[in-house]
């Protein structure tokens, strides 16, 4: 496979279309392509970055939340996590979210990677972590809008839940794919 000299696009201007801070900003950029063509309205979305945690207890169970998620319009499973506060480091946010949402702290943390959620519109960065040796130290108190139930599952139960469609969000598929590797291949989740 040959490598071509691919060049970046140039932003020649940007205008804000919507500011619904802190949750969403929409802008239109004026872009110059490498061949000189101009794209007048290349839309960009800005949402808060977030951390998502694959959390394992000291006895090897996976720590999850069962809650109504309005984006999916149903009750489903998800890993603990949430938005980074302005200026907050991803690992600090992950630790805060794990404690707030579940009441658990982890003995060890491992970054699994950070990824842009949309190739052309950017949207946000997802920061994935593995937390091991989790133990309960407090009651869950996220202060969020939703009610959530803390659920502990074995790896086999988590994989079965994926196969049953209980994890509808691509960020969760990515997190568990990074944590489990090939065990989720072919699950159709």
Bond preceding residue 135 cis, omega within 30 of 0: no
Residue 101, CB-side half-sphere exposure with 13 Å CA sphere = 28
Indicate the pLDDT class of residue 153, thresholds 50, 70 and 90: very high
pLDDT at 6: 85
- Spell out the domain ranges in the chain: 10-46, 50-184
The listed CATH number (3.40.50.1950, 3.50.50.60, 3.90.79.10, 3.40.1280.10) that belongs to domain 50-184: 3.90.79.10
pLDDT at 182: 45
The CA-based diameter of the chain, rounded to the nearest angstrom, is 59
Distances in Å between the Cα of 106 and the Cα atoms of 33, 121, 132 are 47, 34, 6
Q: Say what the alpha-carbon torsion angle 85, 89, 95, 96 is, to the nearest 10 degrees.
A: -20
d(CA 16, CA 96): 32
- Whether the CB-CB separation of 55 and 65 falls below 8 Å is answered with no
- What pTM was estimated for this model as a whole? 0.87
pLDDT at 183: 45
Query: pLDDT digit string (tens) for 59-116?
Result: 999 999 999 988 889 999 999 999 999 999 999 999 999 999 999 999 999 999 999 9
Query: pLDDT digit string (tens) for 17-46?
Result: 999 998 999 999 999 999 999 999 999 999
Strands 50-57 and 122-136: parallel
């Amino acid at each position: 496979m040959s490598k071509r000299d691919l060049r970046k696009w140039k932003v020649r201007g940007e205008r804000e279309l919507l500011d619904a801070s802190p949750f969403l900003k929409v802008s239109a950029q004026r872009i110059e392509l490498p061949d000189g063509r101009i794209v007048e309205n290349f839309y960009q979305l800005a949402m808060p970055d977030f951390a998502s945690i694959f959390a394992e207890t000291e006895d090897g169970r996976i720590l999850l939340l069962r809650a109504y998620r309005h984006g999916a319009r149903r009750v489903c499973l998800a890993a603990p996590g949430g938005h980074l506060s302005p200026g907050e480091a991803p690992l600090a946010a992950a630790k805060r979210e794990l404690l707030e949402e579940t009441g658990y702290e982890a003995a060890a943390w491992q970054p699994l990677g950070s990824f842009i959620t949309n190739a052309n519109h950017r949207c946000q960065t997802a920061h994935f972590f593995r937390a091991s040796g989790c133990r309960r130290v407090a009651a869950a108190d996220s202060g969020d809008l939703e009610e959530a139930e803390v659920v502990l599952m074995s790896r086999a139960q988590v994989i079965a839940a994926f196969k049953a469609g209980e994890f509808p969000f691509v960020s969760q598929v990515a997190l568990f794919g990074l944590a489990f590797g090939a065990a989720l291949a072919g699950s159709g989740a």
